[in-house]
Each structure stands twice: as structure tokens, then as C-alpha cells.
Amino acid sequence: MSESSTLDECNQKPQVPWARVDKHLKLWVDMNLEEYMTQDQLSTITLPSHISSRNIRRDGMRHVFEFMFLELNQNAAGEYTNVPLYTELIRWIKDVLGTCT
């Protein structure tokens, strides 16, 4: 989990950090480690450490906390439907950095 992405990498290909986290998430699932921490919690706290921009890390986590307290009871739709916090963080990063293609 100690991987990181450069600022240029994040700016040019913002999907790279969560692709790296997805790799760790697969290992998490394969090892059945959800007993200790949910996939959603793990991936949500791991993703910011892979982003070199301090502002995006700080603002992204602030957004996740606001989302947790204000909107989590609503259905979170997205690519990762069983991990609503992680899904929301990725959605927020895409909104901030622009749509990834």
C-alpha cells in the first residue's frame, strides 16, 4: 500500500491512483480481510495516500466525511456499489480533475 502517484501522473491520468488501489482491494477480498476493516473503509483511506496533491487529499477526505454524515443513507450508485465511500471519493476526484476517458 506504499505506492504513490506523482502530481503529473495524477493530472494526466487521474484514474491511475484508484487503479492501483483496486489492485489492493482485490487482494483484500481474496484474503477475506473484511473481518477487520470493510472494503469501503480500506479503499477510501488508501486512495488519498496515492495522490500527491495535498489539497486534493485534504479536500477529498473532507468531502467523504460530509458525504458520510449527510448523504450515505441514500443509495450510492456507481461502479463500486458495495463501497459507497470509495465510489463517492472517485466521483469527487473525477469532478475536480475532469472526466477521465
Residue ranges per domain, the chain?
Answer: 7-97
Q: Which three cell numbers stand for residue 51?
A: 495522490
State the chain's mean pLDDT as an integer: 79
According to the model, what pLDDT value does residue 74 have?
A: 58
Measured distance CA(51)–CA(45) in Å, rounded:
11
Q: What percent of the chain has pLDDT over 70?
A: 83
Confidence of residue 73 (pLDDT cuts 50, 70, 90): low
Measured distance CA(52)–CA(26) in Å, rounded:
23
According to the model, what pLDDT value does residue 79 have?
A: 59
According to the model, what pLDDT value does residue 101 have?
A: 40
According to the model, what pLDDT value does residue 81 have?
A: 63
